[in-house]
């Protein structure tokens, strides 16, 4: 990253951390709700972190190259463990790592060149459990789920646009934003507020159109249960394709799902 890009990232990281610390003050109320939400369909597990800050951000340095921002849903069982406190470290993360490892032409190390974030840092064993928290928690919990989504969308869009806008003239690398997992971005989904705030961040109010950085926003199936890979394979029509064909399929698929979810 150049100096300006590093400043953009530092702002993102510091604001993210500050908000997670503030929201963690509700852990005492969140914890029993998170445990109760998981009881019906999830084996018991050690719940250690109710609001998860991604400590990967503290390992990023100015010398690192950021090529991709990946937005998941919310921290799951493995992400919230104190030994981790990082995003996409479970099976889904391993699938994502494997994809880029098998395709070295992207020149992306999933653990070094990717900023991984979520639509909310509030943990649940399954994303759908957030609806239980919203329904059965206090007004403060409902407000947390709303405010955290809006803030995460605002910060993520700011990071993405800032990294793109401050590229050196000689730097030809685009920084893409991948939204992985979109079922809860649909009608009646828990992440509708995230969806709206993110979209608004890419609108040119004077021209009433999307800014050019919107072209680097893509929407995909989640990595979990190989849904991303299956969807990509179906889009390409075959398994063994050239890197150029893979890039084309990725773009077309990401734009297709973006239009389905965002309408543009």
pLDDT digits (tens, 9 = 90+) for 210-225: 999 999 999 999 999 9
pLDDT digits (tens, 9 = 90+) for 156-186: 999 999 999 999 875 567 899 999 999 999 9
Burial of residue 194 (number of CB atoms within 10 Å: 0-12, 13-18, 19+): buried
Q: What is the DSSP letter of 39?
A: T
pLDDT score, position 207: 86
**41: pLDDT confidence band, cut at 50, 70 and 90?**
very high
**Percent of the chain whose pLDDT exceeds 70:** 99
What angle, 0 to 180 degrees and rounded to 10, lies between the N-to-C axes of helices 27-38 and 129-136?
A: 130
* Alpha carbons 9 and 4: distance in angstroms, whole number: 9
Strands 114-118 and 68-72: parallel
Question: What ranges do the domains of the chain cover?
Answer: 3-262
Asked if residue 147 has pLDDT above 90, the reply is yes
pLDDT score, position 170: 55
* Alpha carbons 224 and 128: distance in angstroms, whole number: 14
At 195 the three-state DSSP class reads helix
pLDDT score, position 175: 95
* Alpha carbons 26 and 49: distance in angstroms, whole number: 11
What integer is the mean pLDDT of 99-114? Answer: 95
Residue 148 in contact with residue 190, Cβ under 8 Å?
A: no
pLDDT digits (tens, 9 = 90+) for 49-81: 999 999 999 999 999 999 999 999 999 999 999
For residue 217, the cross-strand partners are 177
Residue 77 in contact with residue 90, Cβ under 8 Å?
A: yes
Burial of residue 12 (number of CB atoms within 10 Å: 0-12, 13-18, 19+): buried
Residue 177 in contact with residue 71, Cβ under 8 Å?
A: yes
Query: Of all helices (H) and strands (E), which one includes residue 210?
Result: strand 209-210
Burial of residue 115 (number of CB atoms within 10 Å: 0-12, 13-18, 19+): buried
pLDDT score, position 174: 87
* Alpha carbons 110 and 69: distance in angstroms, whole number: 10
* Alpha carbons 243 and 156: distance in angstroms, whole number: 28
């Amino acid at each position: 990253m150049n100096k300006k890009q590093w400043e953009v990232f530092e702002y993102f990281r510091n604001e993210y951390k500050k908000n997670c610390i503030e929201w963690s003050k509700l852990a005492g109320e969140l914890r029993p709700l998170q445990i109760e939400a998981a009881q019906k369909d999830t084996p018991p597990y050690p719940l250690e972190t109710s609001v998860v800050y991604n400590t990967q951000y503290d390992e990023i340095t100015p010398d690192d190259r950021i090529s991709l921002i990946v937005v998941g849903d919310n921290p799951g069982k493995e992400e919230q463990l104190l030994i981790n406190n990082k995003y996409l470290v479970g099976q889904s993360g391993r699938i994502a790592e494997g994809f880029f490892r098998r395709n070295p032409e992207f020149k992306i190390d999933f653990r070094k060149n990717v900023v991984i974030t979520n639509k909310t840092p509030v943990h649940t064993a399954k994303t759908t459990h957030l609806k239980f928290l919203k329904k059965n928690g206090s007004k403060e919990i409902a407000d947390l789920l709303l405010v955290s989504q809006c803030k995460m969308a605002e910060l993520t869009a700011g990071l993405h646009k800032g990294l793109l806008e401050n590229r050196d003239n000689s730097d030809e690398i685009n920084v893409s934003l991948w939204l992985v997992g979109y079922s809860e971005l649909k009608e009646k989904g828990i992440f509708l507020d995230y969806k709206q705030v993110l979209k608004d961040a890419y609108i040119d109010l004077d021209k009433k159109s999307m800014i050019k950085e919107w072209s680097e926003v893509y929407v995909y199936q989640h990595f979990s249960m190989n849904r991303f890979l299956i969807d990509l394979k179906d889009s390409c029509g075959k398994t063994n394709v050239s890197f150029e064909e893979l890039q084309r399929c990725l773009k077309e698929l990401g734009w297709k799902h973006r239009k389905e979810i965002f309408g543009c």
